[in-house]
Amino acid sequence: MKPFATVLEVGSSLSNRTGSWRTERPVYVHRLPPCNNACPAGENIQEWLSLVEQEKYEDAWREIVKNNPFPAIMGRVCYHPCENACNRVVLESPVGINSVEQFLGDKAIKEGWAFDKPAKASGKKVLVIGSGPAGLSAAYQLARAGHKVTIKEMLDKTGGMLRFGIPQYRLPRDVLDAEIKRILDLGVELQLNTKESDLAATMEKGGFDAVFLSAGAHIAKLASFPTSDNARVLDAVSVLRDMEGKTKPSLGKRVVVYGGGNTALDVARTAKRLGAETVTIVYRRNREKMPAHAFEVDEALQENIVIKYLSTIKDYQKTTLTLETMALDEKGWPQPTGKTETMEADCVVLALGQDSDLSFLDKVSGLKIANGVLEVDAQMMSGHPGLFAGGDMVPSSRTATVGIGHGKKAARHIDLWLFKQEAPAEVKNEIAGSDRLNTWYYAEAQRTERKMTDGAKRAGTFDEVQSGLSQDEALSEARRCLSCGNCFECDNCYGVCPDNAIKKLGAGKGFEINLDYCKGCALCATECPCGSIDMVPEEN
Amino acid sequence: MNNALRNPKGIYTIGNRLVDQKERTIQSSTDRCNALNCGHRACQGCGEALGARCVVDAAMRATNGQLIVVNATGCLEVFSTPYPETAWQTAWVHSLFGNAPAVATGVAAAMKIKGRGEVRTLAQGGDGSTTDIGFGCLSGMFERNDDVLYVCYDNQAYMNTGVQRSSATPPAARTATTPTMGHEPGNVFGTGKNLPLLAMAHQIPYVATATVSDIQDLEAKVTKAMSMRGARYLHVLVPCPLGWGSLPRHTITLARLAVQCGLYPLFEAENGEVTGSTKIRQHVPVENYLQLQKRFAHLFKNGKAVDERLARMQAMADANIRRFNLLGVEEN
Ligand SMILES: Cc1cc2nc3c(=O)[nH]c(=O)nc-3n(C[C@H](O)[C@H](O)[C@H](O)COP(=O)(O)OP(=O)(O)OC[C@H]3O[C@@H](n4cnc5c(N)ncnc54)[C@H](O)[C@@H]3O)c2cc1C
Ligand SMILES: Cc1ncc(C[n+]2csc(CCOP(=O)(O)OP(=O)(O)O)c2C)c(N)n1
Ligand code: SF4
Ligand code: SF4
Ligand SMILES: [Mg+2]
């Protein structure tokens, strides 16, 4: 029969290569999520949130501990700069990264997850001075790389300021112990009650191929004001350290804390828990200028701690304290006004910051010490070859997270240095800014906060003040992550291409542009929720 | 459709790796039929090409591939099937500009007589062929309740022949035949017809509107239409970069803004009664939609509204919002 109509072959349009119309081509890219960029420990936050999203909790924990062996600790005490950087603010509020981290850390302890076995023994030995977060982080990374690590710690317990600074109502000691034990279980040798007092001599003796210093900053800065012999002046570092001893410090009923940093707040809240009736923080500037974080100030106020701003201590005789009112000048510095007042105090606790005790380095050659801290280069190495340092004793913003990051970085460079290798050039992707998000595709989802015990109630005990998220809460919090700058396989590009020019490669494999037919309309790039497609001009 | 159902895991994207495969869209699946394959000659970012693939893929899925598509003349036919090529991967027939509904009626009747009732018929055309030249045939197809799903891809003008006004062109829009001249430049207010409402007036089993910015919604409507027999009508808004003077990359943005400002309501009707509407999620003024299109450029000067007719456009959107309860709570 003669065909009654023209009949065309299926697939005949494929000979028309419409890709030749293109002036720009879509390219899948990876951008650096702002949270990852802000994390001082260098966690790949987006990656582990995505694993939580898929309910792969153990995988998520293993991703965190590549960079930070302390998710349960840092999930409690980190000041979470990641959340301040989180792009989700353009929708409602940042992802609760810190609380999900705590959830994973706690789950790992409960489930007894252990670290992967260290790599094959390298035969190299590294000495670490100090068992604070910086030293433990370095020891952990070095041990995982197969090196033999010995930690010298002058105190009778590990942890540095995590234990002898941060109070247990913020960081329960069983959590601290569990995460430190896991590191020691890798075969790290620990020498407690062993103060390093002459490093030059120790190095002379040999037995180590490299050294990492992380002695922290423990010497309280003092203030000078006249006192009588029977006036009690203590310092915050000693008070907090004594909290870990057998006999707790006795501070009296009326306690005054002098200073405006996080340590001042921690010691004030500790005094309250030790039974003080009134706790007053005296600070010479105003709330805005206070170095303590706003949330810590709020928590202290909820516990009925009084803060006297714009005041300095002039004089302290027996139990009578004289304060002078200050006024801020144009530059924001406090200037005396001559106006004074008095109040009664059973003791004054100084919380004016800490200096490092670097006397054990006196005889080591090549070091540069400025402003009381040891200078290191970008590889965390001091002026003495093979001697690396990090944490509070080097120039830094002095947080535990920064210390953990230093420890990790130093370990990487010690490893390279030991084998005389060059550090590979660092490739840092461009930051995934919120301007590249197509927020239409994300549903509104409010943030779940961890619950806090009521102020008056929690101030009466050393119990932890905040409780962690449930698994369901952690899951929904992780699902709030936008996956900034990295494809999460939402299929938008694949679905919106009018030319069917995108190939879906299957779960975990992403997509591929079929350049034979892509006309370069940029619908895929425009409709990508997380900004992981660039449009790149075609050459000529 | 219920927003919570569409959005079980916090996102409105086309796919969602966190939900069961069965619940994902057809367009997110690697075994979608790609009824309209690569190599077609539609412009960059053509909304009609995208809309047609989504519609026909969904109909193919719903009928297990037992589908015959009848196409009117227009961009969709011309860009997909320039002799001797075709981009269609389905049984597909083209006859004339104005007769697609009548041809489809014939196809459906033939299948019935041959005892092949499982083979279903879908007819499709642009707004010109639907609202103007083919409207007589379409009205007859509705009136007889013939077993055809008719889909209109509305790009609001005769695009294939160079952007002439149709009875679906919105007021104030510039086309080749409604130039920006005189004291009321562009298309005249108070003209044109609303095809979904006209279809409803025929009391046919199913009428719905959809667009390319909400593929979940579009697929659900095609699937529902294919679960029914008799005459069914689907109106799909498809932005056209060439005719609208918009950036190819803005095709979906524009479809979304048309819905979110209220000018293009998404709703469903059965037997002449509205049964539900898709709610506006982020309400915006009509300017946001109009400003991205050169065909409305005369309404703005330096990004500022200068024409009092904008208020009339806004009033149209507001009327839709009231009529279809677009900001209201989800019924059911
Ligand atoms: C009260 C308080 C609260 C804080 N709260 C937070 C917080 O909530 N979040 C946060 O991120 N940061 C907080 N910080 C800061 C944080 O604790 C420190 O930045 C961090 O502990 C520094 O780590 P590090 O390893 O450098 O030093 P450290 O933690 O100080 O550890 C140094 C260790 O070295 C030992 N050591 C010192 N000298 C020698 C020697 N010669 N021989 C042998 N061992 C030696 C010390 O005994 C100590 O164990 C707080 C600090 C204080 C004081
Ligand atoms: C009887 C007849 N008149 C005019 C034409 C020329 N013609 C072909 S396509 C077209 C316009 C189609 O417009 P529309 O239906 O809106 O589809 P679009 O191209 O916009 O998708 C016209 C006028 C024709 N093919 N047949
Ligand atoms: S949304 Fe996710 S990826 Fe983006 S900054 Fe926040 S936590 Fe990081
Ligand atoms: S003129 Fe418009 S409808 Fe026609 S192919 Fe181009 S974009 Fe698509
Ligand atoms: Mg048209």
pLDDT at A396 over 50: yes
DSSP string of A233-288? Answer: EEEHHHHHHHTTSSSPP---SEEEEE--SHHHHHHHHHHHHTT-SEEEEE-SS-TT
Q: Cα(A413)–Cα(A224) distance, rounded to whole angstroms?
A: 43
Q: Output the six-digit token pair for A255.
A: 């306690």
pLDDT band at B306 (very low <50, low <70, confident <90, very high): confident
Average pLDDT over residues A118-133: 96
CB atoms within 10 A of CB B205: 17
Q: What is the pLDDT of residues A266-293, one digit of tens each?
A: 999 999 999 999 999 999 999 999 999 9
Atom of ligand 1 nearest to the CA of A136: 25
* pLDDT score at A501: 98
The answer to whether residue B100 is domain-embedded is yes
Q: Output the six-digit token pair for A235.
A: 């310092």
Work out the mean pLDDT of chain A and round it to a whole number: 96
Q: What is the pLDDT of residues A21-33, one digit of tens each?
A: 999 999 999 999 9
**Which residue's alpha carbon is nearest to atom 5 within ligand 3?**
A86
Residues in Cβ contact with B294 at an 8 Å cutoff, skipping those fewer than 6 apart: B174, B244, B245, B246
pLDDT band at B330 (very low <50, low <70, confident <90, very high): low
* pLDDT score at B302: 85
pLDDT band at B1 (very low <50, low <70, confident <90, very high): very low
Could you report the predicted ipTM of this complex, rounded to two decimals? 0.95
pLDDT at B6 over 50: no
* pLDDT score at A320: 96
DSSP string of A289-337? Answer: T-SS-HHHHHHHHHTT-EEE-SEEEEEEETTEEEEEEEEE-TTS-EEEE
* pLDDT score at A1: 60
Helix (H) or strand (E) holding B142: helix B135-143
* 3-class DSSP state of B272: coil
Residues of B in contact with A443 (CB under 8 A): 7, 10-12
Question: Using the 8-state DSSP alphabet, how is residue A140 labeled?
Answer: H
The answer to whether residue B4 is domain-embedded is no
Average pLDDT over residues A201-206: 95
Q: Output the six-digit token pair for B167.
A: 């009875």
Which of B13, B217, B292 to mutate to probe the A interface, most A CBs <10 Å?
B13
**Which residue's alpha carbon is nearest to atom 48 within ligand 1?**
A160
* pLDDT score at A423: 85
Q: What is the pLDDT of residues B83-107, one digit of tens each?
A: 999 999 999 999 999 999 999 999 9
* pLDDT score at B7: 47
Helix (H) or strand (E) holding A72: helix A71-77
Average pLDDT over residues B125-148: 98
B84: preceding bond cis by omega (within 30 degrees): yes
Average pLDDT over residues A491-517: 97
Q: What percent of chain A has pLDDT over 90?
A: 95
Per-residue CA distances from B314 to A23, B192, B309, B318 (Å)? 37, 17, 9, 6
Average pLDDT over residues A116-130: 95
The answer to whether residue B12 is domain-embedded is no
The answer to whether residue B203 is domain-embedded is yes
pLDDT at B5 over 60: no
* pLDDT score at B328: 86
Average pLDDT over residues A194-204: 97
Helix, strand, coil percentages, rounded to 5, for chain B = 35, 15, 45
* pLDDT score at B206: 98
Q: What is the pLDDT of residues B221-256, one digit of tens each?
A: 999 999 999 999 999 999 999 999 999 999 999 999
DSSP-derived pairing of the beta strands B232-237 and B148-154? parallel
Q: Report yes or no: B12 at the A interface, CB cutoff 8 Å.
A: yes
DSSP-derived pairing of the beta strands A334-344 and A320-328? antiparallel
- Nearest CA-CA partner of A169 in A239, A107, A243, A250: A243
Average pLDDT over residues A181-204: 97
Residue of B99, B153, B160 to mutate, ligand 2, most atoms within 8 A of C-beta: B160
Say how many domains are in chain B: 1
Exposure letters A233-263 (e unless 16+ CB within 10 A, then b): bbbbbbbbbebbeeeebebeebbbbbbbbbb
Q: Is A468 in the pocket of ligand 1 (CB under 6 A)?
A: no
pLDDT at B8 over 70: no
Residues in Cβ contact with A15 at an 8 Å cutoff, skipping those fewer than 6 apart: B39, B85
Nearest listed ligand to the Cα of residue B241: 4
Q: Output the six-digit token pair for A379.
A: 């590889």
Centre of ligand 2 from the C-alpha of residue B200, in Å: 25
Q: Cα(A314)–Cα(A290) distance, rounded to whole angstroms?
A: 20
CB atoms within 10 A of CB B310: 18
Residue span of the structural domain in which B148 resides: 36-331
What domains appear along chain A, each with residue ranges and CATH number? 9-31+486-537 (3.30.70.20), 37-113+439-470 (1.10.1060.10), 125-218+356-418 (3.50.50.60), 220-352 (3.50.50.60)
Work out the mean pLDDT of chain B and round it to a whole number: 94
* pLDDT score at A343: 96
Average pLDDT over residues B150-173: 98
> Rg for chain B (alpha carbons), in Å?
19
pLDDT at A336 over 70: yes
Q: Cα(B169)–Cα(A498) distance, rounded to whole angstroms?
A: 23
Cα-Cα end-to-end distance for chain A: 52
* pLDDT score at B2: 33
pLDDT band at A125 (very low <50, low <70, confident <90, very high): very high
Q: Cα(A102)–Cα(A110) distance, rounded to whole angstroms?
A: 12
Do residues B151 and B59 make contact, with C-beta atoms less than 8 angstroms apart? no
The answer to whether residue B210 is domain-embedded is yes
Helix, strand, coil percentages, rounded to 5, for chain A = 35, 20, 50
pLDDT band at B11 (very low <50, low <70, confident <90, very high): confident
Q: What is the pTM assigned to this prediction?
A: 0.93
With an 8 Å Cβ cutoff, are B251 and A521 in contact?
yes
Q: What is the pLDDT of residues A433-445, one digit of tens each?
A: 999 999 999 999 9
Q: Which residue of B has its CA nearest to A498?
A: B50
Q: What percent of chain A has pLDDT over 70?
A: 99
Q: Report yes or no: B248 at the A interface, CB cutoff 8 Å.
A: yes
Helices (H), B286-332: 286-290, 309-323
The answer to whether residue B23 is domain-embedded is no
Q: What is the pLDDT of residues A220-273, one digit of tens each?
A: 999 889 999 899 999 999 999 999 999 999 999 999 999 999 999 999 999 999
* pLDDT score at B255: 98
The answer to whether residue B25 is domain-embedded is no
Average pLDDT over residues B164-190: 95
Q: Which residues, in sequence order, are bridge partners of residue A306? A: A280
B residues 203-232 closer than 8 Å to A (CB): 212, 215
With an 8 Å Cβ cutoff, are B86 and A5 in contact?
no
- A274: exposed, middle or buried (Cβ count in 10 Å: 0-12, 13-18, 19+): middle
Helices (H), B11-114: 47-62, 75-80, 100-113
Helices (H), B11-99: 47-62, 75-80
pLDDT band at B307 (very low <50, low <70, confident <90, very high): confident
pLDDT at A318 over 90: yes
Average pLDDT over residues A329-357: 95
Window from A7-11, A164-168, A254-258, A301-305 with minimum mean pLDDT: A7-11
- A424: exposed, middle or buried (Cβ count in 10 Å: 0-12, 13-18, 19+): exposed
A residues 474-513 closer than 8 Å to B (CB): 476, 479-480, 488-492, 494-501, 504, 506-507
DSSP-derived pairing of the beta strands A334-344 and A233-235? unpaired
Residues of A in contact with B44 (CB under 8 A): 21, 519-521
The answer to whether residue B19 is domain-embedded is no
Do residues B205 and B178 make contact, with C-beta atoms less than 8 angstroms apart? no
Q: Find the CATH number of the domain harbouring B207.
A: 3.40.50.970
Nearest listed ligand to the Cα of residue A238: 1
How close B94 gets to chain A, by Cα (Å)?
10
* pLDDT score at A227: 93
